[in-house]
Chains A and B, each alone.
Chain A
Amino acid sequence: MKRLGIISLFVLLFIAFITIWNYSYQTGLKDAYIPLENEISSPKIPSEAGVFQRSEYAFDYVNMPVDEKHQRTLETYYDNRAYHGAPPSIPHPVKQEMSMGGNTCLQCHQNGGFVQKFNAYAPVTPHPEMINCRQCHVTQNTETFFTETSFVKVHAPTAGIHNALPGSPPMIPHSIQMRENCLSCHAGPAAPKEIRVTHPERINCRQCHVPNAIEYSEKSVFSRNNN
């Protein structure tokens, strides 16, 4: 009898344990389940973000004195390209043939600065996020041709003629693909002097300068469809 009592007590305790354990497990599941709505993540727009990329240096550019002896010109800028819009070639010897851009090229070309060895300011790349530099930029190791070529360089835009009105902000005469970051070429000591901006502190460039994108639109003048 005594034994039966003890057994039934344990059975009762065991059943109670099972129920409580089950109950708490179930509510725990319920608590754990919060139907989470996905937070909307904010995407990047490459062509828009680029404009503001170097803007933190805008005031440095304002205060930088001009080193007239070491200015680049638009002529040398274009000379270094096969045609207008082509990736520039590397006009100086390269030490490490096997290294990636992050370790070598970007040391000078990410933020620029004076390079004693070449007696020039390093141009700033508009796309430092792409580090396989030599995928597009190659050195020139010979002056000769394999065979003669009749390739003619496309006429490149010159500075100072892109205003629609006297004194109005010039339009952008070139494609901005891969060159969304205006300040990298238009500000700082390495900027070709003809295209160096007078007001690098105004960083929303495309507030005033819009692409002269004749290649994208068939008609350069608006005409109405109807009538």
Chain B
Amino acid sequence: MYTSLTNRRKFIKKMAMLSAMTAAATMFPGILFADEQEKGLPDGDINWTKAPCRFCGVGCGVLVGTENGKAVAVKGDPKSTVNKGLLCVKGYHQIMCLQAKDRLTHALVKKNGTYVQTPIQEALDLVASKMKETIEKHGKDAVAMYTSGQSTIPEGYVASKFMKGAIGTNNLDCNARLCMASAVTGFLTSFGADEPMGCYEDIDHADVFVLWGNNMAEMHPVLFSRMLEQKNRRGAKIIDFATRTTRTSMAADKSILFKPQSDLAVANAICYEIIKNGWVNTSFVEKHCSFNKGLTNMGYGLEDNYKFKDKPEKIDFKAYKKFLEDYTPEKVEKISGVSVKDIKYMAAYFGDPNKKVVSYWCMGINQHTRGTWMNNLVYNIHLLTGKISQPGNGPFSLTGQPSACGTAREVGTFTHKLPKGVVTNEKHRRLAAKIWKVPYERIPSKPTYHATEMFRAVDRGEIKFIWTQVTNPLVSLPKTSRYRPGMEKDSCFVVVSDVFPTPTSDVADVILPASWHIEKSGLYGNSERRTQHWDKMVEGPGETTPDAWMTIEVAKRMGFGDLFPYSEENHVEEIYNEYRQFHEGDKHGMAPLEVLKSQPGAIWPYVNGKSTQWRFNAKYDPACSNNEDFHFYGKPDGRAVIWQRPYEPAPEEPDNEYPFWLNTGRVIEHWHTGSMTRRIPVLHKAMPNAYVELHPKDAERLQIKNGDKVKLITRRGEIIMPASVNQRGIPTPLQVFVPFFDENMLINDLTLDSFCPISKEPDYKKCAVRVEKV
């Protein structure tokens, strides 16, 4: 069992109080959850401090209870408008990972094949000298940094300043490339401005929720509970459009299953129906939209050094209408397996002017070799019907990581990004150089490696030094069967900063002990553009150090001290205030730190002391300046773009030799690669290992029972794992699903490293696999 956090007597005392309160609470059912949480807990000597949750992109407000310098409890923050006091099982138990026995407390340096505990100052000396030496010998582009959508805003900011401003290389990318890149390119191509226009309050207004390949009951449970509440209270409808029957399907009003990759066709069919039935909001489209088409047959990025650049071309409504004739519901039924009736059913909700519709999606659409297209297609539906940027109406792209928006996208820890804009734009480079106080010529204008290509470059021997922070790529990358041997090669010096040992730290030359969440101060930005701040609450063990401070220390040792004049105690605040300058103005203004400290976050654009909940809508967004109801100011002509994007097949579809689709994903108990959640006994006991889900009919045909050992074989590798039949989820026939959290059953050794040519985000949801009973 878990170890007790306080001494036994206190614990019993607390439990007694708690059970007394529980008993009292049972006498008054219907008591408000938030109130009950505020009043009904052992408050005595526990000190409650606010923070955003460490895990997913929803960004729930939590209150962490500390006592005698130790974190002892977690509750939902009733003041947070995100979760209103409710959390999920991961959130409630998050602090328990801190007690794991194998915590990395000191720096470890590999000497003659074994790890030697080393004083952190010495380890940082080594990292800096290795980095310097590599640059001198092989050039700036031989060193790389790979960070995370879980890095705090200051961590991402100093990483960007260090790599792009100090060293002068664009070799910086992050794991958000694996989850949000298609959402970003989707927003940029359709609207010219990243991140959703709406906010979570949409849930309280919408009549219909369409979930596109998104198992929200497990992946965004707190938002899903808000939706369920609206379903129960107001009769709001939930439509689950997916390739797998899940807990979400069970709670939804309607579950519609489609064949992998055919979502492209179905989305186009919905647009076809909307136009055919005259449901187009003509005045909205005429005033605020334009039509584009791009290149097709882009390829899938399977080969090294793959390059692609889209060529947008203006078209008119007539041409777009003509294009859609290939996507009548009857034709699409044959591609997708979705009945004509169901296609018309979905289209009718979008088309009904009296129904408010919100679309939600996450990895189903983003981890897609046509992910950017799929994002565009959902926007098309909302733009054609004018259901966008209004309370209860809009497309909403959810995120998976707590600061995928705040750090990866807004600070810009991608190879092509700067804290404002992109490296290819001279104006943006000049702004960055000015704020960073570096010569403008130092920031290179050409992007280098995106995540997958970065690890290919490590394998090829081009990158000779890589530093990963807050991420576990050797579990989370696709086709790790190539990238693990690549990282193990002597040609590359690997530095891994982490809190716990992982398969990635196993191949490191230096392991740096990082501070966990509440052992440092920081800021995260969630899916609804909400920036949240937290203060350090407990001391980390041993020589653990915040990632931002380790980056700064290495930068200082490399002679860039003048660019990082921050103090160790106050660096978070100093860095945030410097970073805020990038986003000044009413299109992206960030709330001042005092505001973020006093409340559970604020939504940007934060203008004149107010969060902007709905962007592009003149009623709410002060940045709208065209005197119309809506202004898509991200595009020079103020118009959002409706894209002509066709259906194209996946790069590796099932055939006779590999007859099944392989789909991967998460479970509610574990978060991503499980390095934290598996060390929380409650979660480990509930979900101790990975499994392969089969459709009951497939299982019957192969004579596989629940729990039987099954071998999965793809062109990249094979693995044996227990079967799961009729348990947590049921994939469509001839598809299998495997969660990827289990480092002892690395499913990503088998996945394909194909990606969306526009966003460079890999597709973890589709490749061909053979299933054999062992």
Q: Could you tell me the distance between the alpha carbons of A45 and B726 in the complex, rounded to whole angstroms?
A: 6
Contact in complex: A164, B681 (CB < 8 Å): yes
Contact in complex: A39, B339 (CB < 8 Å): yes
B318 on the interface (CB 8 Å rule)? no
Contact in complex: B685, A220 (CB < 8 Å): yes
A174 on the interface (CB 8 Å rule)? no
Q: Which of chain A's residues have a CB closer than 8 A to the CB of B689?
A: 217
Contact in complex: A45, B245 (CB < 8 Å): yes
Q: Could you tell me the distance between the alpha carbons of A213 and B252 in the complex, rounded to whole angstroms?
A: 27
Question: Which of B14, B232, B250, B338 makes the CB contact (< 8 A) with A44?
Answer: B250
A24 to chain B, nearest CB (A): 24
A129 on the interface (CB 8 Å rule)? no
Contact in complex: A165, B221 (CB < 8 Å): no
Contact in complex: B89, A210 (CB < 8 Å): yes
Contact in complex: B89, A169 (CB < 8 Å): yes
Q: Could you tell me the distance between the alpha carbons of A175 and B602 in the complex, rounded to whole angstroms?
A: 43
Q: Give A53's nearest chain B residue, CB to CB.
A: B250
Q: Could you tell me the distance between the alpha carbons of A203 and B246 in the complex, rounded to whole angstroms?
A: 16
Q: Could you tell me the distance between the alpha carbons of A220 and B680 in the complex, rounded to whole angstroms?
A: 10
Q: Which of chain B's residues have a CB closer than 8 A to the CB of A169?
A: 89, 92
Question: Which of B27, B33, B247 makes the CB contact (< 8 A) with A48?
Answer: B247
Contact in complex: B25, A198 (CB < 8 Å): yes
Contact in complex: A40, B732 (CB < 8 Å): yes
Q: Could you tell me the distance between the alpha carbons of A220 and B1 in the complex, rounded to whole angstroms?
A: 6
B16 to chain A, nearest CB (A): 9
A69 on the interface (CB 8 Å rule)? no
Q: Could you tell me the distance between the alpha carbons of A171 and B728 in the complex, rounded to whole angstroms?
A: 18
A68 on the interface (CB 8 Å rule)? yes
Q: Could you tell me the distance between the alpha carbons of A196 and B25 in the complex, rounded to whole angstroms?
A: 9
Q: Mask for A19-48, Cβ within 8 A of B = 1, else 0?
A: 000000000000000010111111111111
Q: Which of chain B's residues have a CB closer than 8 A to the CB of A185?
A: none
B72 to chain A, nearest CB (A): 6
Q: Which of chain B's residues have a CB closer than 8 A to the CB of A40?
A: 257-259, 337-338, 732-733
Q: Mask for B1-16, Cβ within 8 A of A = 1, else 0?
A: 1100100000100110
Contact in complex: A168, B726 (CB < 8 Å): no
Given known A201-B232, A210-B682, contact A164–B96 (CB-CB < 8 A): yes
Q: Which of chain A's residues have a CB closer than 8 A to the CB of B22?
A: 159-160, 198
Q: Mask for A200-227, Cβ within 8 A of B = 1, else 0?
A: 1111101111111110111111101111
A140 on the interface (CB 8 Å rule)? no
A93 on the interface (CB 8 Å rule)? no
Contact in complex: A61, B685 (CB < 8 Å): no
Contact in complex: B217, A212 (CB < 8 Å): no
B residues 683-698 near A (Cβ < 8 Å) are 683-689, 695-696
Q: Which of chain A's residues have a CB closer than 8 A to the CB of B249?
A: 42, 45
> Quick check: which of B145-153, B164-172, B223-231 contacts chain A, the rest being far away?
B223-231
A4 on the interface (CB 8 Å rule)? no
Given known A222-B678, A224-B501, A226-B503, contact A45–B730 (CB-CB < 8 A): yes
Q: Give B677's nearest chain A residue, CB to CB.
A: A222
Q: Mask for A41-84, Cβ within 8 A of B = 1, else 0?
A: 11111111101100110110111101010000000000000000
Q: Which of chain A's residues have a CB closer than 8 A to the CB of B29?
A: 61-62, 64, 66, 187, 196-198, 200
A166 on the interface (CB 8 Å rule)? yes
B residues 1-57 near A (Cβ < 8 Å) are 1-2, 5, 11, 14-15, 18-19, 22-23, 25-31, 33, 36-37, 41-42, 46
Contact in complex: A166, B73 (CB < 8 Å): yes
B93 to chain A, nearest CB (A): 6
Q: Could you tell me the distance between the alpha carbons of A210 and B667 in the complex, rounded to whole angstroms?
A: 12
Contact in complex: A160, B250 (CB < 8 Å): no
Q: Mask for A162-191, Cβ within 8 A of B = 1, else 0?
A: 011111110100000000000000010000
Q: Which of chain A's residues have a CB closer than 8 A to the CB of B96?
A: 164-165
Q: Which of chain B's residues have a CB closer than 8 A to the CB of A64?
A: 29-30
Q: Which of chain B's residues have a CB closer than 8 A to the CB of A39?
A: 333, 337-339, 342
Q: Could you tell me the distance between the alpha carbons of A225 and B746 in the complex, rounded to whole angstroms?
A: 12
A139 to chain B, nearest CB (A): 30
Q: Which of chain B's residues have a CB closer than 8 A to the CB of A211?
A: 685-686
Contact in complex: B245, A42 (CB < 8 Å): yes
Q: Which of chain B's residues have a CB closer than 8 A to the CB of A227?
A: 501, 506
Q: Could you tell me the distance between the alpha carbons of A43 and B217 in the complex, rounded to whole angstroms?
A: 17
B729 on the interface (CB 8 Å rule)? yes
Q: Could you tell me the distance between the alpha carbons of A51 and B224 in the complex, rounded to whole angstroms?
A: 14
Contact in complex: A207, B222 (CB < 8 Å): yes
Which of B26, B73, B259, B730 has the most C-beta atoms of chain A within 10 angstroms of its own C-beta?
B26
Q: Mask for B249-287, Cβ within 8 A of A = 1, else 0?
A: 111000111110000000000000000000000000000
Q: Give B32's nearest chain A residue, CB to CB.
A: A199
Q: Could you tell me the distance between the alpha carbons of A207 and B29 in the complex, rounded to whole angstroms?
A: 20
Q: Could you tell me the distance between the alpha carbons of A199 and B334 in the complex, rounded to whole angstroms?
A: 45
Contact in complex: B93, A165 (CB < 8 Å): yes
Contact in complex: A59, B727 (CB < 8 Å): no
B592 to chain A, nearest CB (A): 33
A193 on the interface (CB 8 Å rule)? yes
Q: Which of chain B's residues have a CB closer than 8 A to the CB of A56?
A: 232
Q: Could you tell me the distance between the alpha carbons of A210 and B681 in the complex, rounded to whole angstroms?
A: 11
Contact in complex: A168, B74 (CB < 8 Å): yes
Contact in complex: A167, B73 (CB < 8 Å): yes
Q: Which of chain B's residues have a CB closer than 8 A to the CB of A86?
A: none
Q: Give A193's nearest chain B residue, CB to CB.
A: B26
Given known A47-B727, A166-B18, A167-B18, contact A224–B743 (CB-CB < 8 A): yes
Q: A59-B232, A220-B1, A222-B679 are in contact. List 4 more A-B contacts (CB 8 A).
A: A45-B726, A59-B233, A202-B229, A222-B681
- 6 interchain residue pairs of minimum CB distance: A210-B686, A217-B688, A160-B19, A207-B221, A222-B678, A49-B250
